[in-house]
Chains A and B, each alone.
Chain A
Amino acid sequence: MFVRFLICLCLSVGLCLPALSFAQESNIIVIKNHKFSPSPLIIPANQKIQITVDNQDSTPEEFESFDLDREQVVEGNKKIIVFIGPLTPGTYNYWADYHQDSKGVIIAK
């Protein structure tokens, strides 16, 4: 009985996952010469946001942010999607983990 319950729970979660995905719009952060632009990136507060991180360098980089609780590698000349929010209004810092002097800011308004 317990196993059946778990299978049903699992199937239910799996089937509902696509419906629970509610990212709204795409914003772009470009990495070039190990620098982020634009910075700051202004995004709406209290909404789920999809950010495309476009690494135009030939070397990999890691988009890392304690404020946003994100840590994702983007390979050279590749793009990744970072899902964030909903965020309360405020300033959120991030940095390039492989070049830690390179920093950026996201402002939620």
Chain B
Amino acid sequence: MNFKVFLFFAAFLCVLTFAKPSYAEKQVFAPNAEQGEWEIENTGVYDVDPHKDKNAVQEYHYSIGYGVNSFWHTELELEAETLPTDDAITKFQATHLEWENIFQLAPKGEYWVDPGIYLAYEAPLINKQVGQFEGKILLEKDFQKITNILNISFNQEVGEGADRHTDAGVSWSTRYRLSRYFEPGFEYWNDFSAIDHHLDYNQQSHQVGPCIYGHLFGSVNYDIGYLFGISDAAPRREIKWVLEYEF
């Protein structure tokens, strides 16, 4: 346990040291690692907005992950997104290769809140893109059949042309564990932008909306949400999903 507490602080300080939007992918992470479990995952978002530059923005992640032991889950991920071009026609292409890790810092239920750390590095695959380190503090708390998860995120771009400001954000998920196959809930997503340069509420991105979670066919987990932009910087509407096959 002492090693895990040390790891928690070491990772947190690394995040602050290294530490744009603040999220590599639209998923609220639980601080859990399942030993010996493989997973193949598809995560995506699709934005709808009256402004052309924010409309039909798409981002997809394809990943394979493995539970190395009871406290470490690691994942290799390919990110693809639509990129703006000079003639205002978006171009869809693979942009980053990401290595992400979740460290479960205590057995679930041992403490009042379940803690974890997420550390990831995104390497750029195309010119004019930069790499970035991403760190999150993961906290989960169950109240009977209601599960609440909070992620506090920090991002720092690295490489030539990188923005030297550290960005931060918060994401929150609450779900009611109605059945194994259907858990209704909601999510809130916030991107503060640079933590040392305060922006007005409308310059920050704030989104909230209903989500459903659950299992299909025994080994497939789903997480689908419809988020409403509640600040000017956020897209007016966003569809987000996570499909995960475990084996």
A residues near B, CB below 8 A? 2-3, 6-7, 10-11, 13-14, 17, 20-23, 48, 60, 62, 66, 69-73, 80-85, 88
Size of interface on B: residues with Cβ below 8 Å to A: 33
B35 contacts A by Cβ under 8 Å: yes
Chain A residues with CB under 8 A of B108: 69-70, 72, 83
Given contacts A3-B16, A10-B9, A88-B144, contact A73 B195 (CB under 8 A): no
Interface SS of A by simple majority: mixed
> In the complex the two chains form, what is the Cα distance from A33 to B75 in whole Å?
34
Whether the pair A23, B110 counts as a contact (CB closer than 8 A) is: yes
Assuming A13-B115, A17-B111, is B36 touching A69 (CB within 8 A)?
Answer: no
Q: Which residues of the other chain, A, contact B180 by a CB distance below 8 angstroms? A: 66
A14 to B4 Cα, complex, angstroms: 10
The minimal Cβ–Cβ distance linking A95 to chain B, given in whole angstroms, is: 11
B123 on interface, CB distance cutoff 8 Å: no
Known: A3-B16, A7-B16, A13-B115. A73 touches B109 (CB 8 A): no
When distances are taken between beta carbons in the complex, the residues of chain A under 8 Å from B165 are none
* Residue among A10, A80, A82, A88 having the largest count of chain B Cβ atoms under 10 Å: A10
Assess the B112–A69 pair: CB atoms within 8 A: no
B34 partner, pick from A20, A21, A23, A73, beta carbons under 8 A: A73
| Of the residues A21, A60, A88, contact of B111 by C-beta under 8 Å | A21
- Residues on B with beta carbons closer than 8 Å to the beta carbon of A70: 108-109
A84 and B109: CB pair below 8 A? Answer: yes
Tell whether, in the assembled complex, residue B177 and residue A69 are in contact, meaning their CB atoms are under 8 Å apart: yes
The reply to whether B36 and A17 contact each other, CB–CB distance below 8 Å, is no
Q: How far is the CB of B144 from chain A (nearest CB, A)?
A: 7
A31 to B106, CA, bound (A): 23
Min C-beta distance of A45 to chain B, whole Å: 12
